[in-house]
Amino acid sequence: MNHETLNTFTDPELVQVIAAAQGLLQTRAEKRKNDAMEQIRQIAATAQITISFDVGRKPKGGKAVMRAGERFVNPADASQAYTVGKGKPPHWFAALRDKNKLPAPVAFDAPKPKET
């Protein structure tokens, strides 16, 4: 497919092409990853080494692991923040955590809203 062909597509057709291309790229990347892991397993087996690729994955419950010092800002009220490990979590934090809807922690150099 060349540039002239792409120019003839309508917007919805381009969206479909992009989605198909992204899916294909993701499938290929996953296959390369799986092939590499299998090759590593085979090499490790010949050296009688046991390996695991589960490092860094979330627990099966789907709950993210939080580290002490991570700072979370209430999406409903930016003036409220909570730093993990500094006392009992506020109600807004606990509610979002229980629903698995916590926002990403803010960067340490970001302006710090008042603690709640």
Digit-by-digit pLDDT tens for the chain (116 residues) are 777 888 898 988 888 888 999 999 999 999 999 999 999 999 999 999 888 877 555 555 556 677 888 899 999 988 899 998 888 999 999 999 888 888 888 875 545 566 66
CB–CB of 75/103 below 8 Å?
yes
The total domain count for the chain is 2
Parent domain of 74: 58-116
Q: So what's the pLDDT on residue 66?
A: 79
DSSP state of 71: E
DSSP string, 72-85: EE-TT-TT-EEETT
Cα–Cα distances in Å, from 82 out to 23, 68, 79, 87, 102? 38, 11, 10, 9, 11
Q: So what's the pLDDT on residue 63?
A: 60
82 burial via Cβ count (<10 Å: 0-12, 13-18, 19+) = buried
Same domain, 65 and 104: yes
The first and second tokens of residue 51, run together, are: 């390996």
pTM (2 decimals)? 0.43
Same domain, 66 and 98: yes
Same domain, 32 and 74: no
β-sheet bridge partners, residue 72: 82
Same domain, 110 and 72: yes
Q: So what's the pLDDT on residue 43?
A: 93
